Amino acid sequence: MLIKDVMPSFELFQPTQLKDAFALLDRYGKDGWKMAGGYDSLSWFKERIKRPKAVIDLSGIAELKGVRETPDGIEIGALTTLTEIERNPVIKAKFRLLADAAGRVASPQIRNAGTIGGNASQDARCWYYRSGLPCYRAGGNTCFADTPEGVNREHALFDTDRCVAVSQSDTAPALVALDAKFVVKSSKGERVIGYEEFFIGPKIDITRLTSVKPEEILTSIRISNAWAGAHFYFEKVADRDTWDFPLVNVAAAIQVKNGVIETCRIACGGVSAVPRRLLAVEGIVKGKPMSADIAKIAGQSAPRGASPLNYNAFKIPLMASLVTRAVRDARA
């Protein structure tokens, strides 16, 4: 029987300087675990499924926290809480999409401690994996969800490769739509990467959902003013209206001039292992008047190429409806 709520022991480190966190990550390698708000991390430990030797709690590192205005946009420390993001006046004024998405994560209690970095970096929620079964993602040689009996209504429609788990972060598609850049640092240096490089699917590495390596830390997220004040839309559909992961969500940033869509970025979560940017839809709507007709065409195009599993075909019309509403109802 699985013993729950009794964590295996580990060394706990609480550095206050980034350089000390890097030294610990270099020392422990794959045996080290970065912890931010702990809402994803602690459930792994309590289930006794992930058993790091050392937990490096990043919450005492002041430079990882807060929202700063920069000459060309904002820089958000990775340890900034989701509540702060939801309420920050600059984010609300310029990039409301991100505040709206952060405000739809889980519950107020989780948003008070959960961080933007942890939310974007969170692991797959597939219950087979979460219950400790030895599937592909856990290093085994099968997928329990993608079988005739597999319970897979939450799983992927696109780009599967052995694993059919999805990205269920609510902030991730908003960050894609806002063309955010992810600042990832280690003792060896820094890389600033776009969403295509930050979020990774099973074809690249089946054991993780981001490209952040054990010795690296996501230190901040940058958003440029290029999308400030655009028309925005975020919507998430979940089984329950609160405290629940998205079945599908959509985030759209649309620049409109004289009623015509000049340019846009639209992404959906809950449909593939990475937030899925809808490039074909963006191509269809660019240069067209923002209207119910073009929104309908956008929605119909959104799920093209989907390959549903046994129990998740309902996500196809759901995705179409969300994208239709995003293009029709996005507002400045």
Ligand X SMILES: Cc1cc2nc3c(=O)[nH]c(=O)nc-3n(C[C@H](O)[C@H](O)[C@H](O)COP(=O)(O)OP(=O)(O)OC[C@H]3O[C@@H](n4cnc5c(N)ncnc54)[C@H](O)[C@@H]3O)c2cc1C
Closer to ligand SF4 at the Cβ: 76 or 126? Answer: 126
CA distances from 175 to 35, 253, 274 (A): 21, 10, 12
13, 22, 39, 158: which one binds ligand X (CB under 6 A):
39
244 binds ligand X (CB under 6 A): yes
* Residue placing its CB nearer to ligand SF4 in the complex, 155 or 277: 155
- Residue closest to ligand SF4 (Cβ): 135
CA distance 309 to 153: 8
212 sits near ligand X (criterion: CB under 6 A): yes
Residue from 25, 120, 165, 176 touching ligand SF4 (CB under 6 A): that is 165
Quick one: tokens of 44? 């792994």
Return the one option of ligand X, ligand SF4, none that residue 35 interacts with (CB less than 5 to 8 A, by type). Answer: ligand X
**How far are the Cα atoms of 151, 201, 275, 285 from residue 171, in angstroms, in the given order?**
26, 17, 10, 24
Residue 160 binds ligand X (CB under 6 A):
no
Among 25, 97, 143, 278, binds ligand SF4 (CB under 6 A): 143
CA atoms within 13 A on the CB side of 12: 12
Q: Between 22 and 232, whose beta carbon lies closer to ligand X?
A: 22
Quick check: 137 binds ligand SF4 (CB under 6 A)?
A: yes
Binding at 136: pick from ligand SF4, ligand X, none (beta carbon under 5-8 Å per type): ligand SF4
> Cβ of 109: how many Cβ atoms within 10 Å?
11
Query: Using CB under 6 A, which of the segments 85-93, 117-125, 284-292, 297-305 binds ligand X?
Result: 117-125
CB atoms within 10 A of CB 70: 11
Residue with tokens 């992404």: 267
- Considering CB distances under 5 to 8 angstroms, the limit depending on partner class, which of ligand SF4, ligand X, none binds residue 163? ligand SF4
For residue 61, give the nearest of 77, 40, 41, 81 by alpha carbon.
77
What, of ligand X, ligand SF4, none, does residue 32 touch, CB below 5 to 8 Å by kind?
Answer: none
Q: Counting contacts by CB under 6 A, is residue 217 touching ligand X?
A: yes
- Cα torsion 279, 268, 312, 200 to 10°: value is 80
What are the phi and psi torsion angles at 315 (to 5°)?
-70, -20
Structure tokens at 106: 């889980």
Q: Which of 101, 102, 105, 145: binder of ligand SF4 (CB under 6 A)?
A: 145
Q: Is 41 in the site for ligand X (CB under 6 A)?
A: yes
Taking CB within 5 to 8 Å according to partner kind, which of ligand X, ligand SF4, none is near residue 122? ligand X
Crossing angle of helices 315-329/292-301, nearest 10°? 150
Residues 163-192 that bind ligand X (CB under 6 A): 169-170
Nearest to 227 by CA among 256, 250, 268: 256
Task: Name the residue among 311, 308, 292 with its Cα closest to residue 300.
Answer: 292
> From CA 244, how far away is CA 138, in angstroms rounded?
24
Which is nearer to ligand X, 20 or 40 (by Cβ)?
A: 40
Q: Please report, as ranges, the residues that interact with ligand X according to CB under 6 A.
A: 33-41, 43, 58, 78, 105-106, 110, 114-115, 117-119, 121-123, 169-170, 212, 217-218, 243-245
Q: Please report, as ranges, the residues that interact with ligand SF4 according to CB under 6 A.
A: 124, 126, 128-129, 135-137, 143-146, 155, 163-165
